[in-house]
Chains A and B, each alone.
Chain A
Amino acid sequence: MAQQEQVARLAADAAQLLLESGGEIYRVQQTIEHIGRAYGAPDIHAYVVTNAIFVSLEKNEGGSVNEMRYVRTRSVHLSRVMAVNALSRRIAGGAVSLEQAQKELEDVRSLPASAVWLQVFACGVGTACFAYLFGGTAWDAFAAFWVGLVLQPFVLFLGKNGAGQFISNTLCAVLVAMASVLMMQMMRLVGVTCSLDKIIIGGIIPLVPGIALTNAIRDVANSDYVSGTIRAAEALLIAVSIALGVGFVLKLCALIPGVVL
């Protein structure tokens, strides 16, 4: 029956979108089961890990439909998480036909990201605020603002070119540290003393593994230990890659005469 194949596909598509956008494992699994149940397929089975989705739906006339998704790239998109969640609730409420659900899922997929200029500005403001929160002065925050403005375009550029997470985080950390050293030297030229540590700390906050850590915690709390472990390893790896990038630049600067850290 063609309808059951469509149900399995819809469930897998919704799950993939949710997982890519930063939903936690439990939510993804629930979404699949809700969709299956709503469209008359209570025997739907789902297994979800950090980067893969398996859906199996038992047909009424015997046999089964299987859908598998491999989730390679992940970029957090909270609007999508929210929209898929809302859609799955309405589907569970029985108010949405199968065709309409497919169409609405496409709409969710094309939800706009924040405008690029806004992202760049937000990154600058975020790094400036954090430089201040972690004990910097207003001048440190001012310097960190420019570091953030440089960082976000680079993050977007690396994301577009599909650089691996470890490498891209290291490169970003190198950029942050270099831009920070540069800003500090420039501020010194105009007679303002900044503390390098506060500027760098502000700058690395957008890179810090906050999302990986949150998801690791939530997955483990829901007994999804495999996914939780993957996320925890990811968090640790990101932290190490940031350390590597910053450390490299600090060591380099210590070697250059005339640069005072």
Chain B
Amino acid sequence: MIFAFLIQCAVSFVSVVAFAVLFHAPRQEWAWCGLTGMAGWAAYWLLVQMEQGVVTASLVAAVVLALLSRILAVVRRCPMTVFIMGGIFPLVPGAGIYYTVYYFIMGEEGQCLAKGVETLKIAAAIAIGIVLVLALPGALFQPLGCRSRKTR
């Protein structure tokens, strides 16, 4: 279990760094992008393992991802966009889109509808998770910035 978890972390880290490269993120932020994405995926994976369902897992993962992005934005003094854009890709329901089409083509309407609704739910869960974190006042994160500036 722990071994599997570590592999999941490592692979998600690499995948998000790959996306940071694709979006031309500055080199010194690559590792931080990977870390943010990894944290989101780790939360998602753990919750799915605990059989909490993919929608709940996506919601929690989105909160973790957005929170870490906001913290890093202050600490690294860099727009939050840089961290959140790569990190969101493991959560976006790519598999959901695929299975919806697959069942659609195969003529299994019931399964298709179920997957389609699930895909929409996941997208909504991600949206809600991120909005929750964005709603937090900026003042909460300010002390982090001051501390990092002093240590520099």
Contact = CB atoms under 8 A, between A and B. Distances in A.
Nearest to A113: B24
Nearest to B99: A197
Interface string A146-159: 00000010000000
Interface residues of A, number: 55
Contact of B21 (A118, A213, A222, A239): A118
A132 interface: yes
Interface string A166-209: 00000000000000000000000000000001001100111011
Interface residues of B, number: 46
Contacts of A251: 105
A239 B105 contact: no
Interface string B8-43: 100110110111111111100100000000000100
Interface stretch (A8-16, A61-69, A72-80): A72-80
A106 to B, nearest CB: 18
B23 A77 contact: yes
Interface string B86-99: 00111011110111
B81 A205 contact: no
B24 A77 contact: yes
Contact of A130 (B93, B94, B99, B127): B94
Contacts, number: 149
B97 A239 contact: yes
Interface string A84-127: 01100000000000000000000000010110001100110110
A243 interface: yes
Given A76-B85, A133-B15, A209 B92 contact: yes
B105 to A, nearest CB: 5
Given A133-B8, A133-B90, A82 B102 contact: no
Interface of B: 8, 11-12, 14-15, 17-26, 29, 41, 77-79, 81-82, 84-85, 88-90, 92-95, 97-102, 104-105, 123, 126-127, 130-131, 134-135
17 contacts: A79-B24, A82-B25, A82-B26, A118-B21, A125-B15, A129-B18, A130-B94, A133-B12, A201-B94, A205-B92, A206-B22, A210-B85, A210-B88, A214-B84, A221-B130, A221-B135, A254-B105
Given A27-B79, A78-B82, A208-B92, 8 more contacts: A114-B24, A125-B15, A129-B15, A201-B95, A204-B98, A213-B123, A218-B134, A222-B134
